[in-house]
Amino acid sequence: MYYIHVCRINTLWEFNGPIKHMKGTYIGELEELILLTVGVLYGKAYGVAVMDEIAKQTGRDLNISAVHAVLKRLEEKGMVSSTMGDPSPERGGRRKRIFLLTAAGKKALEEANEIRNQLYKQIPKVALQFQWV
């Protein structure tokens, strides 16, 4: 008696071999905010800079650990890529991990923006009329 075991591997393949499994394209509000900020800081987006820019633009204070966790998750999803920058004297010679938007990140931002705009356009005008007391 012979048994055959069948399994499914969720891995994408390139010509050079397997690449990381891509997670879904849905992004949450914080992921969207960080993706937008990575785009704004083009070429200068590292953890602390992203955190500071979000505080400056929105008044929202984030924990650096949360920023790093989201950046890592976005990189796993293929929405950002990262490279190590040059050493800097103010960091004692330590290098910064610089993040850039990828095509998938740009597409996710465009889709999120389109969905939001479509929903907003569907709100009846009367629903947006308020009388302040």
Tens-place pLDDT, residues 18-35: 444 445 567 999 999 999
Is this model's pTM higher than 0.85 or not? Answer: no
- The CATH number linked to 52 is 1.10.10.10
State the pLDDT at residue 131: 77
- pLDDT greater than 50 at residue 12: no
Does the pLDDT of residue 14 top 90, yes or no?
no
pLDDT: which is higher, 129 or 1: 129
Average pLDDT of the residues of the chain: 84
Indicate whether 11 belongs to any domain.
Answer: no
Within-domain flag for 51:
yes
Total domains in the chain come to 1
pLDDT of 45 > 60? The answer is yes
Determine the pLDDT at residue 4. 47
Let me know if residue 5 belongs to a domain: no
pLDDT at 117 over 50: yes
Q: Is 27 exposed, middle or buried (0-12, 13-18, 19+ CB in 10 A)?
A: buried
What type of residue sits at position 27?
A: I
Residue 131 falls inside a structural domain? no
Question: What is the structure's pLDDT at 19?
Answer: 45
Domain membership of residue 50 as a residue range: 29-123
Residue 118, in any domain of the structure: yes
- How many angstroms separate the CA atoms of 55 and 50, rounded? 9
